[in-house]
Amino acid sequence: MRLLHTMLRVGNLDRSLMFYTDILGMRLLRRKDYPDGRFTLAFVGYQDEDEGAVLELTHNWDTETYDIGDGYGHIAIAVEDAYDTCATIKSRGGLVVREAGPMKHGNTVIAFVQDPDGYKVELIQRSGRED
C-alpha cells in the first residue's frame, strides 16, 4: 500500500491552481470536469502520481468557501532552504504566515504559508535536519 493523494475542497480552482503551481512550483498533472455532478477535479504535485503522493483539488461549482474546521492541521513540504523558499514564495505573491526559523522546542527550521482557501502548508528544511 501507499498514500495516493490528499483531497482539498477549494472555492476558486483557478486561484488555487495558480497558488500550487506558480507559487509552490507543483505541476498540474490532470484535470477533469464532471458537468453532471457540477464539480472539477485537478491533481497537482511535484512527481507523477505513480511516483509519489499528490494533492487533489476539488472544486464544487456551486460552493465558494468552506469552513476548514479545527481538526485540519497542514500539508508539509520538504525544502532545501526554508528562508530562501519563503523569499521566493513572497516574491511570487504568496502569503507567509510564519517566517522561517527553528521550531519551538527543537532545532528543525520550519515556516508556514497559506493557500487562497486558508489551508496551511508547512515548509520543513531538510538540510542539516536535527529532529
Q: What is the pLDDT of residues 34-55, one digit of tens each?
A: 999 999 999 999 999 999 999 9
70 pLDDT band, cuts 50/70/90, is confident
Query: What is the model's pLDDT at position 131?
Result: 45
pLDDT tens digits, residue range 83-99? 999 999 999 999 999 99
Place of cell 511535484: 46
Query: What is the model's pLDDT at position 129?
Result: 46
CA atoms within 13 A on the CB side of 76: 7
Higher pLDDT, 29 or 106: 29
User: Domains in the chain, please, with CATH?
Assistant: 5-60 (3.10.180.10), 75-125 (3.10.180.10)
Query: Whole-model pTM?
Result: 0.88
Q: Which three cell numbers stand for residue 53?
A: 503522493
Catalytic positions, written as ranges: 122
